[in-house]
Amino acid sequence: MIRINCPFCGERDHSEFTYGGDATIVYPALDASIEEWHDAVYLRENIRGMQSETWHHVSGCRMWLVIERDTMTHEIQSVRPAHDAIAKALETEQ
């Protein structure tokens, strides 16, 4: 059981969360080409080591989080809200 330290709820079992996907993907504009959308939707690195990924605290605060996790050890290096403005507000508060 991975334990995730949600910035809003504290440390919780990963079973409260759902896995999103690669957090480094920059989705293209809606009117971008098929090729750009194809790359964003289908092309993924298969990372061995530290990976940036999104998780949704679906059975908690419902916030989307960006988590740096080692795919070999499950070690989590950082957790922050995916929404940049919220992440920044949280930082200033602390």
Partner 1 sequence: MSARRLTQGGLIDRSKTIDFSWDGKSLQGFQGDTLASALIANNEKVLARSFKYHRPRGIMSAGVEESGALVTIGSGNRRDPNVKAPMQELYNGLQAFGQNAWPNVRMDAGSVNSLFGRFFSAGFYYKTFMGLPPFESGKGTGWWMKYEKIIRKAAGLGTASREPDPDVYDHAHAFCDVLVVGGGAAGMAAAIAAADAGLDVILVEQEGMLGGDLLSQSAEDAASQREQLNSALESSSVRIMTRTTAFGLYDYGTAGLLERVTDHLPENALPHTPRQIFWTVRASQTILATGSMERQIAFGDNDRPGIMTASAGRSYLNRYAVRAGEEVVVATNNDSAYQVALDMDRAGANVTLLDARNNVSGIVAESLSDSGIEVRMQSAPLKAKGLNGIKALTLATGSPGSWQSGETIPTDLLLVSGGWSPVVNLASHRGVRPVWNEGSACFLAPETAEPIQMAGAAAGIWDTAGCIDSGTRAAQSAINAIKDSTAGSGNTPQPAPEPGDGDSWENPILPVYEVTVPGKKLKCIIDPQHDVTSDDVRLAHREGFVSVEHLKRYTTLGMATDGGKVGNIVGLALMAEALGKEIPEVGTTTFRPPYTPVSIGALRGRNVDEHFRCLRRTAMHNWNLKHGATMTMAGLWHRPWYFAREGETIKEAYEREAATVRETVGLCDVTSLGKIAIQGPDATELLNRVYSNAFAKLPVGKARYGIMLRDDGFVMDDGTTWRLSETDYFMTTTTAHAASVMVFLEELLQTRWPELKVHLTSVSEQWAGCAVAGPKSRETLAACMEDPSQISDENFPFMGVRDITFKGGIPARIARISFSGERAFEAYVPSDYSESLMDMLWEAAQTFDGCLYGLESLGALRIEKGHVTGAELDGRVSIDDAGLGKMASPNKSYIGSALRQRPELLREDRPRLVGIFPKNREETFNAGSILCQSDAVEGMGDGWITAVTYSPALGHWIGLGFLKGGHESYEGKTLVSADPVRKGNIEVEVVSPHMYDASGERMYG
First to last CA, the chain: 28
The CA dihedral of 48, 17, 78, 39, to the nearest 10 degrees, is: 50
User: Is residue 43 involved in binding partner 1 (CB under 8 A)?
Assistant: no
Measured distance CA(1)–CA(86) in Å, rounded? 27
Using the rule CB under 5 A, is 87 a contact of Zn ion? no
- Could you say whether residue 3 binds partner 1 (CB under 8 A)? yes
For residue 36, the partner it binds in partner 1, Zn ion, none, with Cβ less than 5 to 8 A by kind, is: partner 1
Q: Which parts of this chain interact with partner 1 (CB under 8 A)?
A: 1-3, 13, 18, 20, 23, 27-34, 36-38, 40-41, 54, 56, 58, 62-64, 74, 81-86
